[in-house]
Chain A
Amino acid sequence: MRPILLQGHERALTQIKYNRDGDIIFSTAKDQHICAWFAHNGERLGTYHGHQGAIWTVDVDPTSTMIASGAADNTVMLWHIKSGKKLKTWNFDTAVKRVEFSEDGSKLLAVTEKRMGFLGTIVVFDIDLDPEAEQSDERVMTITCEEAKATVAGWSFMTKYIIAGHEDGTVSQYDAKTGEQLDNRQVHEMDQTITDLQWAPDRTYFITASRDKSAKLVNAADLEVMKTYVTDTPLNSAAITPKKDFVILGGGQDAMGVTQTSARQGKFEARFYHKIFEEEIGRVRGHFGPLNTVAADPQGKGYASGGEDGYVRVHQFDKGYFDFTYEVERQARQNL
């Protein structure tokens, strides 16, 4: 797996997203611009300028028409991918840490930061995927996190639930229409922040990453923890690979927590685990700092990681990856 190195950010990466076809990668960083790249050759397709602070999050709608971004400048912005035009700005009282489109792109949620005088919230907007349309200012729903702020959130299958991960290690399930909290579970260790939440392709289950050094696979319908992946380092991100039953975990001890930084250069790793058997199956080295974000190509052809080192590394899976199969998996396939 020889990676393509994407150079264009000057600061730490914060989130990477593939579009549905897997041919374009969007990346955000603390350097205040969003980059779009061709996944197959790493060529830069464009940049989106307008935010006045670190950008924490990006998402692309399912038709690859628009991207949404959230930043430390207390705004969410909506952009037309092709023209680079900014279509809308929504203002908030605090920074926006996560945005996500619903499965049909008709709704967008934004997770806002908690700060003196302001509780963390999850805000929902209606989106018109026509780039010529006027986007609505109206917040169709606001969920206020009274207990512990949400750090990440997303939409389940059928846009039935909003699922949020919190700073106290719990996961919440809200009714996506009313905002009522239906369930809240201590999925990760108490007071260990949930740093990422990514969906399976059909949004019936998701993976969470936590500073408690583990990732969990959770059923969206009942919040049951189905699988646990245990590592030896705080995790910042976790992704589910389509086609193969693997998960990819990214993290690493911050530079300050490392005694001999030089000895670890280039050794920050993406870790692959078998999704069903929970066993580690491989690591990919390369970054010079913790991995802040990992993303799996929805078409299953590769993955990308973004580091504290300012680099995006894009990997195309090779034959060995696709051939890797446990004996019981081979047998099960033969029996189908």
Chain B
Amino acid sequence: QDLDRGDRANQEEVEHRRRLLEEWMAWRANIEQDVREEREARGLPLDPVEGLVKRDEQGEDQVIE
């Protein structure tokens, strides 16, 4: 009986975690899409840093030349 109770508690815990994980992943999918659309609508690059890093590397190349 104790074992049963333990199993049930454990099962509830696992279900609880599964719910939390699903909620989180659903929120992430939503927010990532919202931000992507908003960035596009505002004409902002999807990765705010990508262009900057490239510009910096080009600058270094010029110094080497």
With A63-B52, A64-B56 known, 12 other A-B pairs at CB within 8 A are A62-B53, A63-B55, A65-B56, A103-B48, A105-B52, A202-B35, A204-B32, A221-B31, A245-B24, A328-B14, A328-B21, A332-B25
Query: Which residues from chain A sit less than 8 Å from chain B, CB to CB?
Result: 20, 62-65, 103-105, 129, 157-158, 202, 204, 221, 226, 245, 276-277, 326-329, 331-332
Residues of A within 8 A of B35 (CB): 157-158, 202, 204
Q: B24, A63: Cβ atoms under 8 Å?
A: no
* Distance in angstroms between the alpha carbons of A122 and B48 in the assembled complex: 23
Tell me which residues across on chain B come within 8 A of A20, comparing CB atoms.
49, 53
Closest to A62 in B: B49
Q: Report the minimal beta-carbon distance from A175 to chain B, rounded to whole angstroms.
A: 15
Highest count of chain B CB atoms <10 Å: which of A63, A221, A226: A63
Residue of B nearest to A64 (CB): B56
> What are 11 sample pairs from A and B whose C-beta atoms fall under 8 A apart?
A62-B48, A63-B53, A65-B56, A105-B52, A129-B56, A158-B42, A202-B32, A204-B32, A328-B18, A329-B21, A332-B21
Q: In the complex, are the beta carbons of A63 and B56 less than 8 A apart?
A: yes
Contacts of B17 in A (CB 8 A): 277, 326, 328
- Shortest beta-carbon contacts, A-B, top 10: A103-B48, A62-B49, A63-B56, A328-B18, A328-B17, A104-B48, A276-B24, A63-B52, A204-B31, A328-B21
Q: Is B38 an interface residue (CB 8 A)?
A: yes
CB-CB contacts below 8 Å: B3-62 with A: 14, 17-18, 20-22, 24-25, 27, 31-32, 35, 38-39, 42, 44, 48-49, 52-53, 55-56
Contacting residues, chain A, for B24 (C-beta < 8 A)? 245, 276
**Residue numbers in B under 8 Å from A65 (CB-CB):** 56
